[in-house]
Amino acid sequence: MERLGRITTSLPDLPISRDMTYGAMRRAIIGLPVTVSSAILPDGLWGCYDDENHVILIDRRLTYAAKRCTLVHELTHWRHGDASCEHVARSREEHRARRETALTLIDPLHYGLLEQMYDGNSWNIAQELEVTQQVLGDFRQIMAEHVCIV
């Protein structure tokens, strides 16, 4: 069981970890009931998940770091069965996928070391973590929400 906020879920764990490359993640998910393919997607769209066919498409023009982040993001949509066309539900699903992606890919202790090493330079930190600026920004937002001053 995993705790997400106040909701307890019994969703399956993904066989991926933050230390894996994009290629290693692709190999690790081969046995899952979801197909991952690359394609040339419309401008601005990095990836998408089709719940009806259980297919994830990732834009082949992305960097490996962007593909890695997009794969985890779309796998999160798959894992939760996100298929809503309703704007409000889609917004909640997107917010959840972004948060879970950031928490999956970034180790807080490693991030803290890099924050000090690079004096907060987000480009250098994202490069070291092999994540996009967006994922790093999402992680920073999560950490800011959980700062506890005693």
Separation between Cα atoms, residue 16 and residue 140, nearest integer Å: 22
Q: How confident is the model at residue 90 (pLDDT cuts 50, 70, 90)?
A: confident
Between these two residues, 94 and 85, which has the higher pLDDT value?
A: 94
pLDDT of residue 146: 80
DSSP per position, the chain: -EEETTEEE-PPPPS--TT--HHHHHHHTTTSS-EEEEE-PPTT--EEEETTTTEEEEETTS-HHHHHHHHHHHHHHHHHT----SHHHHHHHHHHHHHHHHHHH--HHHHHHHHHHTTT-HHHHHHHHT--HHHHHHHHHHHHHT----
Q: Is the pLDDT of residue 13 over 50?
A: yes
pLDDT of residue 126: 98
Tell me the average pLDDT across 77-105. 87
Question: Is residue 119 a contact partner of residue 99, using CB atoms and an 8 Å limit?
Answer: no
Position 86 scores a pLDDT of 63
- Please state, rounded to an integer, the average pLDDT across all residues of the chain: 89
Residue 11's pLDDT is what? 64
User: What confidence tens digit (pLDDT) does each residue in 33-84 have?
Assistant: 999 999 999 988 999 999 999 999 999 999 999 999 999 999 999 999 998 6
Q: How many Cβ atoms are within 10 Å of 48's Cβ, its own excluded?
A: 16
Rounded-to-integer distance, Cα 3 and Cα 99, Å: 14
Tell me what pLDDT residue 99 has.
97
